Structure 1
């Protein structure tokens, strides 16, 4: 991604130093988004487990 972003910035006449910095920032942003997606996936599983556990307790209160 960084190379593609760098080439895109250079094609619109952005100075080389700024193009390199911008491409690096985009690469960092992509890494951060990947980490957030992994964290959200974990939170979804945790909430699903807690919800299932609470439903089980609720049903056992009224079935027994």
Structure 2
């Protein structure tokens, strides 16, 4: 089953497009909207992973620095 954007369909019909062309155009726009939503979801997941990696690198740096400084501070 295909998804259509009713507002776009109605606007195209009001502009004078025939039913079939208006329906097809609304379906194509709905497919693009779904595609952008999937891309957005993947980017959010990627950003979450990047945040985790930044924290891991920061913690590793802090622990490594502590190991190197420990022999000099007594």
TM-score (norm 1): 0.90
Match of 1:42 in 2: 45
Gaps of 5+ in 1: none
Match of 1:63 in 2: 66
Take 1:8 and 1:39, find their aligned partners in 2: how far apart are those partners? 32
Dislocated runs of 4+, deviation >3 Å: none
Residue 4 of structure 1, CA deviation: 1.1
* TM-align CA RMSD: 1.1
Take 1:49 and 1:11, find their aligned partners in 2: how far apart are those partners? 50
Q: Flag the structure with larger Rg.
A: 2
Match of 2:31 in 1: 28
TM-score (norm 2): 0.79
Gaps of 5+ in 2: 68-74
Residue 61 of structure 1, CA deviation: 1.0
Residue 15 of structure 1, CA deviation: 2.1
Match of 1:8 in 2: 11
